[in-house]
Amino acid sequence: MKLSIRSHRRGRLAPLSFGSLLSIGALGAVFSPPAAAQLAAPDGGIPADAATPLPNTQPVPVTVLTNSPNTARGLIFVTPTSAGPGAIEGPEILDGQARPVWFKPLPTGTTAYDFRVQTYRGEPVITWIESQGAFSTGPTTDYIADRHYHVIATVTAGNGLTADIHEFHLTPEGTALITAYNTIPYDLSSVGGPSDGLVTEGVYQEIDVATGRVLFEWHSLDHVGLDESEAPVSTSPTVAWDYFHANAVSIDEDGNLLVGARNTWAAYRIDRHTGALLWRLGGKKSDFALGQGVAFAWQHNPTAADDHGLIRIFDNEASPAVLPYSRVIWVRHDDVHRTATLERWFKHPDNLSAGSQGNAEALDNGDTFVGWGALPRISEFDPSNNLVFDAAFPDGYNTYRAYRYPWVGEPDTAPTATAAVDEAGDTVVHAVWNGATQVASWDVLEVSGGHISRVASAAWDGYDTAITANEDLTSVVVVAFDHAGIEIGRSAVTSVTP
């Protein structure tokens, strides 16, 4: 008897002799995909396989508040974080109903940021940042993983700096754009601070992913004065003043860098080769005359929205509040006449005000996906600014950014099963396949008395799907099927816990 997990179509299974199965090898070995490659941890410490078996923990639950059938296609990418004790943290993929598809729990003291789908060497990959210790001070590594959830590359800052958690942006040239913070002694007396003070400047680096070589580096203190900051100056010689607060870097429409600084209320275009500051948009020294409604404050995530001078910005307007709500704005800058006009904007119907963090992403269908940063909310708006999706994390949690992307994940480890008898005498089976995005349904097979037969089925309901079989079973197998009814994975035989 020969079975293929890629072509075996779903149908009624005839009873098979358990002895004949043993004669061709253990059931799990017959039906499992190839074992995961044993890759060395790129940084010597964190396992390279990002789909390792989960410990006894579950990802943060997310509650859907609004969900229209007209949302964009794709899965949702978040990094739930919390300052509370015992918080469950790690990069997480959700489906459109906020059910977990993939979760990578992180050890205590390590937090993930900026989890999304990007392209590396012509292939879709997932990327995220992991940082240890306090904000922007602990060891920080940027990760790239393939569709099998294996880490294939890592990036760290060069030239003696520590990478920051705000940005990990891959370019078509195989490079990564990242942020870093650099604190140095500095005379702050010109802005009312101590002459022997400390200042934290923003640094942007472009790094060759394959070699780790720094190709470009830019320091804010070389181009942006202390007097441009909106943040209150530190009056203590031992407390550093974060005058700039770099929080975004990407490729602008002309191939140069578009960067953002929260504490100067400005976005900047930087020459990608010379480092020259080409213009400021917003802030105290804007190179553009700002039209009505353009001015933004404490903003995040400025991103080129087209090739003709349109920039999309998550405008926090908070901490302290400038407007009573945060908003997403589209600003058109005219580089010839040096004017900037507001083309579009929206706010959340609940007047959400995000004290920090946040982003806005353009989706394929014209919608905009929004992470509300410090608030426990993620949303999607259609081109007419109507709210079509809204979801909430538990109180105390937030996600630095949030995205929606199409993604096909194919872990090359087999699904696993656990099973136990509940108080009613039924067998509850958990079918687990972390990161497998093509599973539509599960079958539970009983392996007992020399035979194997189907005893229960259920639609996929998260990477850990619970299935109740109204029988007292001794050993089970779970089988995964895609939407075409083709078997795509099967677990090893699992004994039922009485």
With helix as H, strand as E and coil as C, how does 72-128 read? CCCEEEEEEEECCCCCCCCCEEECCCCCEEEECCCCCCEEEEEEEEEEECCEEEEEE
What token pair was written down for 18?
A: 């358990």
Give me the pLDDT at residue 448, please: 81
* Nearest one of 123, 115, 119 to 75, comparing CA atoms: 115
Q: Tell me: domain 63-405, CATH 3.30.70.60, correct? A: no
Length of the chain: 498
Structure-token match 């920090």, residue found:
356
Q: Which helix H or strand E contains 391, and what residues bound it?
A: strand 387-392
Note the pTM of the prediction, 2 decimals. Answer: 0.89
List per-residue pLDDT tens for the chain, 498 residues long: 322 222 333 343 333 333 333 222 333 332 233 222 222 333 333 344 565 545 456 888 999 999 999 999 999 999 999 877 777 889 999 999 999 999 999 988 899 999 999 999 999 999 999 999 766 678 999 999 999 999 999 999 999 999 999 999 999 999 999 999 999 999 999 999 999 999 999 999 999 999 999 999 999 999 999 999 999 999 999 999 999 999 999 999 999 999 999 999 999 999 999 999 999 999 999 999 999 999 999 999 999 999 999 999 999 999 999 999 999 999 999 999 999 999 999 999 999 999 999 999 999 999 999 999 999 999 999 999 999 999 999 999 999 999 999 999 999 999 999 999 988 888 999 999 999 999 999 999 999 877 889 999 999 999 999 999 877 889 999 999 999 999 999 999 999 998
> DSSP string of 122-147?
TEEEEEEEEEESSTTTS-EEEEEE-T
Give me the pLDDT at residue 66, please: 97
Per domain, the residue ranges of the chain are 18-33+414-495, 63-405
Same fold yes or no, 18-33+414-495 and 63-405: no
What token pair was written down for 54?
A: 């989960």
Which CATH superfamily, name and number, covers 18-33+414-495? Immunoglobulins (2.60.40.10)
Dist. CA 107–CA 272, nearest whole Å: 37
